Amino acid sequence: MPVENYGVLKGKAIKSKPGSDDSPHYQVLVQDGTETLYRLAINIKSQAHPSEVLYFVSEDFNSEDITKLPKLEEGFTPISKNNPDIALDYVKGKLFDASKMIPLPADEKGPDNDLNDKIQHYIKRAIDEKADLYAFGARWGPEQDKKDKYFGFLPGNGIHDIHMNQGNEGQWKNDNGSWQDGGILIYFDKKDQWIGIFLAFQSQSWCTDENGNATKPVGECDHKHDVN
């Protein structure tokens, strides 16, 4: 069964919180045009071995690949199954060169050398420049009687699974699907620039069928060669 409540959130990032060993997610507070608040929970560490998450950022993302985003209203837009006009698919959509993805630790001493640092760089810029942010993943909430545990707003509300959602094996196999991958796109209007942030787990296979299930195990599918 594919991830539930897949879609894209359009809004403005207004606050962030780096991840830690106790909470291996980079958290972002986002507000839409109706002042509804959402939290983005962005994985910076994998539960499966190896723990380092694959990361790639495009600083010149071609917005024509996702043609309808600028016309979306702010807020959460559900995406129906197999809708490539809006949805992300790392394998079938060929949005970027998978060979450029690199594994990064969640948090290391020193500057610009881990996922916290990399994501923080772009989120801080998005906050400062009030850029349009598009977060693809699975929505939870609204949870009417439950405050958000990181930013304290009510009702609790947010987006998770902001990473590749196919090629899983074992306990996460039921999350597999096509055209349901997560990621973050940011549009900086002053420079007419699109930034794309893409994440995947090393335990995921890049050789997948039309349903997002692995056709080769990870050890036999090289994401640096088999995707493009």
Helix (H) or strand (E) segment spanning residue 123: helix 115-129
pLDDT in tens, 17-33: 999 878 899 999 999 99
Q: How many domains does the chain have?
A: 1
Mean pLDDT of the chain: 92
Q: Are 96 and 56 in contact (CB under 8 A)?
A: yes
Q: Which domain holds residue 156?
A: 6-220
pLDDT in tens, 139-156: 999 999 999 999 999 999
pLDDT in tens, 179-195: 999 999 999 999 999 99
| 72 assigned to some structural domain | yes
Q: Are strands 102-104 and 53-58 parallel, antiparallel or unpaired?
A: antiparallel
| 82 assigned to some structural domain | yes
Residue 46: both structure tokens together: 């994998």
Rounded Cα distance between 105 and 46, Å, is: 10
Please tell me the predicted confidence (pLDDT) of residue 83: 63
Please tell me the predicted confidence (pLDDT) of residue 66: 76
Residue 210: both structure tokens together: 């039309």
Please tell me the predicted confidence (pLDDT) of residue 1: 55
Decide if pLDDT at 166 tops 70. yes
Predicted TM-score (pTM) of this structure: 0.95
Please tell me the predicted confidence (pLDDT) of residue 20: 85
| 111 assigned to some structural domain | yes
| 225 assigned to some structural domain | no
| 228 assigned to some structural domain | no
Rounded Cα distance between 155 and 134, Å, is: 21
| 65 assigned to some structural domain | yes
Q: Are 61 and 188 in contact (CB under 8 A)?
A: no
